Amino acid sequence: MTASEHQVSVAPLDGAVVADLIVERARVASAAGAVTAELVDVVVRGGRIAALGPGAGAGVAARERIAADGGLITAPFTEPHSHPDKALSRRSIGPLGLPAPLTHRPALMQRQRDLKATFTREEVADRAGAFLRLAAAQGVGTVAGQADIDTVTGLTSFEGVMDAREAHTDLLELRVTAFPQEGLVQDPGAYDLVAAALAAGAHRVGGWPNNERSPEDQLTHLDQVFELAERFGVGIDINVDYFTDPTERLLLPLAERTLAHGMQGLVNANHVGALETYSQGDARQAIEKVAEAGITVTVCPTNLSGSRPYRGVSRAAELLAAGVTLAAGTGNLQDNWEPFGNLDPLDTARLAWHAVPLADEDDRGVETAWRLVTDHAARAAGVPFNALRAGEPADFVVLAATSLTDALRNEPGPRWTVRGGRIVARRLGEIWTAPVPAGVA
């Protein structure tokens, strides 16, 4: 990509024109990780990019300015897998009398049931709102979030997340998945609740078929997910083969059903950790079918360790090599499953560089890591990734870093998030040390 690709103007600009915002001397970073050598200005008027190119803002007055000083400007990042309804709920575990980390899966699941039984719509909306504000501050423009829907929480979690979504549309877009975490077969009533959520505006239908009690029920769960997707005309955002458990073998049936239902490109599979335990031949067969079905796969690098059971990062490198669109997401954040997390896509990309792994000699691995949170993540979330060009909406992020490698190093420095031509969030950071005292070598 060269700077000349970005020198188109919607209308002539001169000293008589007042822009809403001008970003000065930035390097444009594409979704694929190409970075312009020339520094460009981005001129914003009426919520759109009016001009983009070297010197485009010269002599133009503006209400606001961002001095990029050679830093990167890119389309907003995408968070492809998260749980806004659970986010920041770890603070509530203590009053439940369950403060200690748990590694036993049934105990973790029961603690989650106990926790979400206490949720109220207002409390979920409050926590999900804080989650969305943090995401915006990190430069995220779209969040794909699952909301639990089952006979424990009913529609409470979903409604709270939808309330938070409505209250934060000026900051970012939240795409909500109706997620029956407790099952569809073993939790009678969940199917109708998920249908109600889809009728009320949920964007995709989710599932966790491995959580059912028998292989037959697991396949029934899968079939019901596709039935709901077709009934409401939505895509699928499903957690499948969740743990690194060799008995979890639903990735291939998922791909086969995607093809049978003609839903290529409309299915995202999260975690897929059990693929690590497949034999080489079985893994190759499943990966080829996933590629044929156009299924995106989202992994969570934080699944590698911690107080939760190990869930791995699937066979991420092999999936990429087969042409599968791979994304990297946060998953859980300061909740029953994960005590940490900051929603920073640059941290996620760096962790993925180590975990996949993506190390190589020509830095192409850094470009791949970048794509896991840019265009690949957007596809996994089911949204378009809009390149920065004149005439497009003025949605972008400005970073202090001047290269992709520096961006993934995530050193202190400013970060601006712009949505609809308006600065909606800013991060500040710096390093300071006292001067060396006189006489000290």
**Encoded tokens for 60:** 């133009």
The answer to whether 145 and 86 have CB atoms below 8 angstroms apart is no
What pLDDT is stored for residue 92 in this prediction?
Answer: 65
Task: Choose among 384, 389, 376, 254: nearest CA to 323.
Answer: 376
Q: What is the DSSP string of 220-283?
A: HHHHHHHHHHHHHT-EEEEEES-SS-TT---HHHHHHHHHHTT-TTSEEEEE-GGGGGS-HHHH
Q: Which residues contact 392 (CB under 8 A, 6 or more apart)?
A: 48, 49, 386
Cβ burial 412-424 (10 Å sphere, 16+ → b, else e): ebbbbbbbbbeeb
* Residue 424 one-letter amino acid: V
What pLDDT is stored for residue 437 in this prediction?
Answer: 74
Domain ranges in the chain are 3-75+386-427, 77-381
CA distance 349 to 355: 10
- Element housing 425 (H / E): strand 422-427
Q: Does domain 3-75+386-427 have CATH number 2.30.40.10?
A: yes
What pLDDT is stored for residue 7 in this prediction?
Answer: 35
Map tokens 């070598």 to a residue.
441
What pLDDT is stored for residue 133 in this prediction?
Answer: 98
55-94 tens-digit pLDDT:
999 999 999 999 999 999 999 999 999 999 999 998 766 5
Q: Does domain 77-381 have CATH number 3.40.50.300?
A: no
Matching fold, domains 3-75+386-427 and 77-381:
no
Per-residue pLDDT of the chain (441 residues; tens, 9 = 90+): 443 333 333 344 455 579 999 999 999 999 889 999 999 999 999 999 999 999 999 999 999 999 999 999 999 999 999 999 999 998 766 555 454 555 667 888 898 899 999 999 999 999 999 999 999 999 999 999 999 999 999 999 999 999 999 999 999 999 999 999 999 999 999 999 999 999 999 999 999 999 999 999 999 999 999 999 999 999 999 999 999 999 999 999 999 999 999 999 999 999 999 999 999 999 999 999 999 999 999 999 988 865 456 788 999 999 999 999 999 999 999 998 888 999 999 999 999 999 999 987 567 999 999 999 999 999 999 999 988 999 999 999 999 999 999 999 998 899 999 999 999 999 998 888 888 777 665
Q: Is 293 exposed, middle or buried (0-12, 13-18, 19+ CB in 10 A)?
A: buried
Instruction: Taking each helix axis as running N to C, give the angle between helix 215-232 and helix 190-199, from 0 to 180 degrees, rounded to the nearest 10.
Output: 20
141-171 tens-digit pLDDT:
999 999 999 999 999 999 999 999 999 999 9
What pLDDT is stored for residue 99 in this prediction?
Answer: 47
CA distance 400 to 409: 11
CA distance 55 to 51: 10
* Residue 342 one-letter amino acid: N
The answer to whether 255 and 286 have CB atoms below 8 angstroms apart is yes
